[in-house]
Chains A and B, each alone.
Chain A
């Protein structure tokens, strides 16, 4: 139990290596599944441990911080680990059949290895308390992500992966420059330590430059609007399993890094009050919400449409952070959690459709409401949740966002959120219309979809409804994390 914080990083890394050594196709899947089951249990355990202690710390190799590297799990980290572990579990149940269909057999073993490495990297980012360590884990997960994306069937997957590699590396290197500047000014890399030493030197250009480099670097990774170009193609052409996992987790982890730097490291006072970053976040967030939604309407490929919708949803989260208030942060964390559920459901449903027709074009989906009722019903639930219909998870986070906006008396922005919901209705509605009200093409009959895929899809879909009705877990964890991050009095 004592070593749990480090085990959740080490186990997926070792499991990934083990898969390569065993070099067995089915074995690779089984190990991935077992690893993610372990991770889900660990994350639940960690959340329970947080009930007793405020933070769980772990010193690597017995070297105490700030000299050694420290792992530090607070409410926010625990929330991220929960999102990652739960998505990983559902994705690995789903992967069995989907990967068999989409990936050539010789690539199965490297595929699962890369998937586990991405997972290890993302969890590592969430639990580490060392700024340089964040960079290292970021690169572990990114390099594996490039490999995963390039395994898509379409040749455009290769080019999308290449562009992501260029953008992602520039982003990571910017973060590296920023961390370097901070190290020069303070002589430490431990986040806690940095937070204590930064105020003394905060009024220097080096620290301001560091802040700028880090936010732009993280902005690229999180697909903040003008830096989002890599995302649509990377999501659209990668294998279904990869799109599901990335859409549910990757950009959220980048947003986590942003929140960590903005609140724990620099402190709200510096980053959102002294620097004009709050306004920037709100402006970019709002443009992201609107532009992402409008782009989504014009896509003929549903997977690409959802990718643009992801840009819009990241916009919501950034907008909420930009409010620099407690309700704003709560809304942001809540939406990170709920958006993982929403996009997980939608991309999984598309994966099932791709499994059957090898296409995610809108034109391929006519009449699907009749031939694939279970899949389309799940898609509809996900779509409703994306729009923010009451009773779904999407409604809860939008409600908190609108309330936070009204608290800050920013009613024009609240109005824009509602407009964006209508835009969402348009692009989700297009798919629903084609699926339910267009005739079934001739010769297309109902066929069986693999049970594992349907089960994983429906767990995701039902959790949208569950977390729409019972917000104890999601809201409780989010507000616990926010209290730790910025304190009650703000």
Chain B
């Protein structure tokens, strides 16, 4: 039982990771894809933060005599990764806005169909 609940975070990480990846692959809406990607990234953040947590551990700040402490490094690493994740999402959303302006659609299938039409047009010209 302890095993099951002790690993609770890791189950959540795996579930979130798979959900995120599935949305990226299965959804044809570009915004949904991007949000799926975000969920996928967040699952990795949770994974790192869970790594750093030690049961009964306290943060080793402003005190010299802590025996068991949680490792702060993964948290700091993930702070960086969160910034990267936010930047990625915003660049992606900006791209989607421009795609909407250029194609008039944010659906993968529509865009592929339009691109194929452009290609056919070119080949006829050749």
Q: Which residues of A contact B (CB under 8 A)?
A: 132, 135-136, 139, 143, 146-147, 150, 155-156, 158-159, 161-162, 165-166, 169-170, 172-173, 176-177, 180, 183-184, 300, 361-363
Contact = CB atoms under 8 A, between A and B. Distances in A.
A177 B91 contact: no
Contacts of B125: 363
B37 A150 contact: no
24 contacts: A132-B77, A132-B80, A135-B81, A136-B84, A143-B84, A146-B91, A147-B91, A156-B115, A158-B98, A158-B102, A159-B111, A162-B30, A162-B96, A169-B41, A169-B88, A170-B21, A177-B44, A180-B44, A180-B47, A180-B48, A180-B74, A300-B122, A362-B126, A363-B125
A417 to B, nearest CB: 32
Contact of A183 (B74, B111, B115, B122): B74
Interface in B61-76: 74
Contacts of B126: 300, 361-363
B123 interface: yes
A326 to B, nearest CB: 36
Contacts of B40: 170, 173
Contacts of A143: 84, 87-88, 91
A184 B44 CA distance: 14
When A and B form their complex, which 7 residue pairs have the shortest distance between CB atoms, in order from nearest? A155-B102, A139-B84, A363-B126, A162-B95, A158-B99, A158-B98, A184-B51
Contacts of B84: 136, 139, 143, 172
Contact of A170 (B24, B30, B77): B24
Interface residues of B, number: 34
B3 interface: no
Nearest to A142: B88
Contacts of B77: 132
B95 A146 contact: yes
Interface string B76-98: 01001100100110011001101
A137 B106 CA distance: 30
B99 A159 contact: yes
B103 interface: yes
B102 to A, nearest CB: 4
B23 to A, nearest CB: 11
Interface in B100-126: 102-103, 111, 115, 118, 122-123, 125-126
A83 to B, nearest CB: 25
A165 B44 contact: no
Contacts of A362: 126
B115 A159 contact: yes
Contacts of A155: 99, 102-103
A111 to B, nearest CB: 15
Contacts of A183: 51, 74
Contacts of A147: 91
Q: Which of B21, B91, B103 has the most CB of A within 10 A?
A: B91
Given A155-B102, A173-B40, A180-B47, 5 more contacts: A132-B80, A166-B33, A170-B21, A180-B48, A362-B126
Contacts of B44: 173, 176-177, 180
Given A136-B84, A169-B88, A176-B44, A162 B99 contact: yes
Given A156-B118, A158-B102, A176-B81, A165 B91 contact: yes
Contacts of A180: 44, 47-48, 51, 74
A150 B80 CA distance: 25
Contacts of B111: 159
A166 B30 CA distance: 10
A165 B94 CA distance: 12
A300 B95 contact: no
B90 to A, nearest CB: 10
A182 B30 CA distance: 33
A137 to B, nearest CB: 11
B119 to A, nearest CB: 9
Contact of B88 (A139, A150, A300): A139
A173 B88 CA distance: 11
Contacts of B47: 177, 180
Nearest to A359: B122
